Structure 1
Amino acid sequence: MRWLYSCAFYLITPFLILRLLWKGRAIPAYRTRIAERFCWDKQKLPVIDVWIHAVSLGEVIAATPLIEAMLVDKKWSVVVTTMTPTGAAQVVSCFGDRVIHRYVPYDLPDVVYRFFNQVKPKIGVIIETELWPNLISRAHALDIPLFLINARLSEGSLKGYLRGQFVFKKILNQFTLIGTQSHDDAKRFIRLGADVKKVTHLGNMKFDLSVQNSAQTLFDHLNERMGKERVKIIFASTHEGEESRILTQIKKWQQAIPHVLLLIAPRHPERFQEVYQLCQQQGFNTGLRSQVDRLNWQNEVVVLDSLGELLGFYRISDYAFVGGSLVPIGGHNVLEPIALGLPVFSGNQVDNFKTICHELEQKKAIILVHNEHQLAEELIHLHANPQEKHQMIERATQFLEHNKGSVARYLSVLSMAWDGQPL
């Protein structure tokens, strides 16, 4: 059936190019390096030890400590592929020229053939759940040991994959090993058809998040411009439908917390201007991160229209709400603000981080809310009770520390494969 999938992919390819050009109107990075996505470029690469695919920003952040260990401890040469410009920007920001970045090839037989002719990795690593049939099958045909690591599969995603189980069963069993974030993830991959001998729970690399204090001078300057003494609430990775609901609560926060400032970081760059216009239309004094000289104490909201700076803004904030959770997206990484010592709030639609969020909630280390009204009330209550806030941060920090160590486990497995040892 892979031939049918490939034929369909070829048919939609012109529309993919048009989509890149269209998205490039708002984000020029989508228009650049299109040839790379088809491996039409003639870039000559050095000998590559490891190829890592991390689809976007979140996966790159999760993989960062592992990549760092590969570079520093193992001295491996690394190629990192991403699908999105946000992921690409994060790779460049974190590693510069210490790794080679390329956009992942479109999953067409001739394209992946050219990709592996160029890259020729000794081992391949895919982060989380990127199941591209032609890419994986070509690596398997070339006897490249291929690992799906930090793998996750929600119950909702499993139901979708089960419709094509006859395809995905074969794909999964072309991996050398599938290392999952949780025991529940492992069970779901086995239900999808993965050989039980290939699946093992190795933990979630997001617990090993690196929070290096980079570019602190820049964020200190931004903090001064916005008002260093002001209480800042950051709304991270927000999606359509969340910002409008959050803005309905701003008057409550302003009454309870004098001079409070809302920082809104939309998940997708193409929505930066849309969110900025929404805030202005609602009558709020709104600044843009990109217009530093116009930021001032009068701003009620600042839209963070930049890439790869979220950790820096967490560092200068007082409270964090992680988006994609008041709408049915599945939530985003709550561990990043926890690692930077913030009390964290999230909506309760967190299928992508269900196990982590529920464990944190049980330990009273995060506050999950049903709607924006509860969010406003819970945040105001926590701000009025600093001892409770401190205890919540302490419990979350302990939870994070207790669950660290998965990067070392993944690196150990990959080292064995790199040395040709049986797993």
Structure 2
Amino acid sequence: MRKIYTIIMYALVPFILLRLVWKSRGLPAYRQRIAERFVWNTSPSSQVDVWVHAVSMGEVVAVTPLVERMLAQNLRVLITTMTPTGSQQVLTRFKSQVAHQYVPYDLPWCVRRFFKRYQPRVGLIMETELWPNLIHQAKLAHVPVALINARLSDHAFGYYHRFRRFFAPILSELTWIGAQSEQDAQRYQALGATPSQLTMVGNMKFDLSVAMTSSDVLNQFKIKWGAHRPVWLAASTHDDEETQLLSQLARIKTAIPDILLLIAPRRPERFQTVYTLVAQQGWNTGLKSQPDTIRADNDVIVLDSMGELMGFYALSDYAFVGASLVPIGGHNVLEPIAMQVPVFCGPYMQNAKSICDELVKHQALQHCLGAEDVASRLIALHQNPEQRAQQIAAASHVLQANRGTVDKYWRKIEEIMV
């Protein structure tokens, strides 16, 4: 089965390259560093102790506390990502402290060169990235690989289960699987993982590391837009979510006249599109990269930068977390919670179901039916300061009660490395 898959992958290479070119129309970084994806880069070999694969920005944020633990032990760390946003997050958070490149395409000769170049003592793959040749070649290179913070959404489980005969041998080549929840552990076992491979560890996102832009820089924005104004941050939004939220803005402003909406699109290639969308609807719109457009009469400001979200959460009074009004599955609601901000999300939170369920159980998250419900709940919460304080306190309690997962992962990784 893996041989058939490999033949298909080779056949797809021209289309993969065309896709990179296509995506680079919106984000030029996609056509840069393509050689890394084939391990054609001519940089000298550099042996590392730990290789960590975090597919994109969210996974890099989640694994940061674990990487910081490794660096504190003077371990040499390589982080691979698949997307430019993930790459930028690595560079922002770690600068030259870690080695970094894009993960190689899942072709045997690419991944062989990769392991020959870096010779890691252990490989750690975040969440759900099951690349057959990558995992198989690691086995041949005597590199133990663990799947950490492992999860399987309903959609992913359905897909993998249909091809169970193909994925079961891949799972058998993993040294260990650390699952986020009992349900995730059961799902991996249903795909063919053995009980001896599996441990329910918990979700390391609860141990998130807060990385912020300088408060002096951020406070300049707050002074410009008006320090007295209530601020609602719509974070990590995707296509159509901005339209849905903007449809409720007039109603919200009727109840909260001086409210300011900050919109932080998830993908850099959408920054200008979102700015144009907001401006065309007639809202007084600012753009973060153009300070002269930031004024006290702004209705909306589009945050067209990366790596500063935590800082803007700190300046906000309410947060909506994106990918949840459209069927993508939701982003990290724990980041605004860590900044003491009450959080709203839409109905589509399957990528963080266990976290969402825990927060809702403790009345620590506003899990809304849609954009209209978001608006209604935001207005109600603003008019009830006591309830707002209770939600913040409940969310902080859930966050603190679930910390410590990184310690458990680290102890197991040390065992594997020995």
TM interval, shorter chain, is over 0.9
Q: 1:57 corresponds to which residue?
A: 57
Name whichever of 293-302 and 388-397 sits farther off: 293-302
Deviations 1:134-153 (A, max 9, x none): 10110011111101000001
Name whichever of 23-32 and 165-174 sits farther off: 23-32
Q: What are the equivalent positions in structure 2 for 1:296-315 lying under 5 Å apart?
A: 296-315=295-314
After superposition, the Cα gap between the structure-2 partners of 1:214 and 1:308, relative to the gap in structure 1 and judged at 3 Å, is closer
Distance 1:289 1:213 in 2: 16
Q: What are the equivalent positions in structure 2 for 1:190-339 lying under 5 Å apart?
A: 190-339=189-338
Q: 1:186 corresponds to which residue?
A: 185
Q: What are the equivalent positions in structure 2 for 1:7-406 lying under 5 Å apart?
A: 7-72=7-72, 74-406=73-405
Post-superposition shift, 1:214? 4.2
Distance 2:291 2:109 in 1: 46
Q: Contact 2:55–2:86 at 8 Å: present in 1 too?
A: yes
Distance 2:6 2:225 in 1: 51
**When the two structures are superposed, what TM-score results if normalisation uses the length of structure 1?**
0.96
Post-superposition shift, 1:405? 0.6
Q: Contact 1:173–1:194 at 8 Å: present in 2 too?
A: yes
Distance 2:290 2:16 in 1: 32
Q: Contact 1:54–1:82 at 8 Å: present in 2 too?
A: yes
Q: Contact 1:363–1:395 at 8 Å: present in 2 too?
A: yes
Distance 2:262 2:61 in 1: 21
Name whichever of 224-233 and 161-170 sits farther off: 224-233
Q: Contact 1:232–1:260 at 8 Å: present in 2 too?
A: yes
Distance 1:191 1:306 in 2: 42
Name whichever of 244-253 and 37-46 sits farther off: 37-46
Distance 1:105 1:230 in 2: 47
Deviations 1:74-126 (A, max 9, x none): 21000000001111111111111000110110111111111111111011000
After superposition, the Cα gap between the structure-2 partners of 1:225 and 1:16, relative to the gap in structure 1 and judged at 3 Å, is farther
Counterpart secondary structure, 1:345: strand
Distance 1:257 1:250 in 2: 10
Counterpart secondary structure, 2:223: helix
Post-superposition shift, 1:46? 2.9
Counterpart secondary structure, 1:87: helix
Q: Contact 1:149–1:179 at 8 Å: present in 2 too?
A: yes
Distance 1:235 1:321 in 2: 5
How big is the alpha-carbon RMSD for the aligned residues of Structure 1 and Structure 2?
1.2
Q: 1:6 corresponds to which residue?
A: 6
After superposition, the Cα gap between the structure-2 partners of 1:181 and 1:286, relative to the gap in structure 1 and judged at 3 Å, is same
Deviations 1:298-345 (A, max 9, x none): 221111121122111111111001111111111111111101100000
Post-superposition shift, 1:156? 2.2
Post-superposition shift, 1:18? 2.0
Distance 2:385 2:153 in 1: 36
Distance 2:311 2:264 in 1: 12
Counterpart secondary structure, 1:52: strand
Q: Contact 1:155–1:188 at 8 Å: present in 2 too?
A: no
Post-superposition shift, 1:20? 1.7
Distance 1:18 1:332 in 2: 28
- Structure 1 residues not aligned, in runs of 5+: none
Q: Which amino acid aligns with 1:30?
A: Y
Counterpart secondary structure, 1:234: strand
Post-superposition shift, 1:69? 0.5
Q: Contact 2:285–2:293 at 8 Å: present in 1 too?
A: no
Distance 2:291 2:145 in 1: 44
Q: Which amino acid aligns with 1:378?
A: R
Aligned length: 418
- Structure 2 residues not aligned, in runs of 5+: none
Q: Which amino acid aligns with 2:322?
A: G
Deviations 1:283-311 (A, max 9, x none): 11112222123211122111112112211
Q: Contact 2:213–2:308 at 8 Å: present in 1 too?
A: no
Identical-pair percentage: 50
Counterpart secondary structure, 1:233: strand
Distance 1:48 1:6 in 2: 27
Post-superposition shift, 1:174? 0.8
Counterpart secondary structure, 1:80: strand
Q: Which amino acid aligns with 1:321?
A: F
4+ residue runs of structure 1 moved beyond 6 angstroms? none
Post-superposition shift, 1:350? 0.9
Q: Which amino acid aligns with 1:20?
A: L
Counterpart secondary structure, 2:26: coil
